Amino acid sequence: MWTFTVKNKIKAAMLFFSVLCLVMLTNIQEQHLVKRINESVTSLYSDRLVVADYIHQLSNRMEKLLVLLSAPQYSSKDVNLELDKIKQITTLYEKTVLTDKENVNFNTFKIYIQQIAQNVNATDHAKAIGISKQARQTLETLSSIQLEEGKVKLDEVISMTSRSRLMSYIEIVILIVIAILIQILVFSAKVEMGAKVPKDHNLN
């Protein structure tokens, strides 16, 4: 009976140790997932939503720039002032994290702005207007990229939350199975101990 009890104690200890390991591993994994989710959400806001606002501001500025360039009473001072505002927003945009595709189009946009300034100073209004329209088209491309990248980040967050939920379900199932095994051990020990207890005999 003593040997049987020790064996059951060892089995129970191993099961409890398995529970402890499972909880620790799950906790570490969940912390890692939470960190990645936070990074993805932060990136979604800082590098996508904020940038989308920058693109919106730049688009409005480009529309105003085109109006100024097309006006009969052309004012190079007003145009250069608008270009300065565009450059300020561009500087903020540049500080965000850019994808390779986004970086190529963003650099193209900056080159267009430089060319517009050069043609304005050279009083070549027609060319400045043509380049401004190209710059506006580049902004539309950048806006499309933001939608694509934003969807990718959102899908990452959804995927990680689904994985975390699945891991929680698996953990619960394993804990239930271990709890059942422990109950079986306890029950079998009681049955075995009861079977080994000798019956009392009346002495004649």
User: What is the DSSP code (8-state) at residue 50?
Assistant: H
Token pair of 89 as six digits = 């927003």
Evaluate whether residue 8 is within a structural domain: yes
> Between the CA of residue 92 and those of 40, 97, 107, 184, 198, what are the distances in Å?
20, 11, 14, 65, 87
| Burial (Cβ within 10 Å: 0-12, 13-18, ≥19) of residue 128 | buried
Residue 61 and residue 139 in contact, taking contact as beta carbons nearer than 8 Å = no
Assigned domain for 25 exists? yes
The verdict on residue 168 lying in a domain is yes
pTM of the model: 0.63
Distance CA 83, CA 77 (A): 10
Nearest to 119 by CA among 108, 110, 131: 131
Residue 32 lies in a domain: yes
Specify the pLDDT at position 131.
93
Let me know if residue 139 belongs to a domain.
Answer: yes
Tell me, yes or no, whether 31 lies in a domain.
yes
Task: Give the integer Cα–Cα distance in Å for 14 and 64.
Answer: 73
Q: Each residue of 158-190: pLDDT tens digit? A: 787 777 777 778 778 877 887 777 777 767 666
pLDDT tens profile 103-131: 999 999 999 999 999 988 777 888 989 99
More confident call, 85 vs 71: 85
Query: Tokens at residue 171, please?
Result: 């953990």
* Residue 201 counted as domain residue: no
pLDDT of residue 3: 46
Q: Please give the tally of structural domains in the chain.
A: 1
CATH of the domain at 118: 1.20.1330
Boundaries of domain holding 136: 2-195
Q: Counting Cβ atoms within 10 Å, is residue 86 exposed (0-12), middle (13-18) or buried (19+)?
A: buried
Which band of pLDDT confidence, cut at 50, 70 and 90, is reported for residue 20?
confident
| 202 part of a folded domain | no
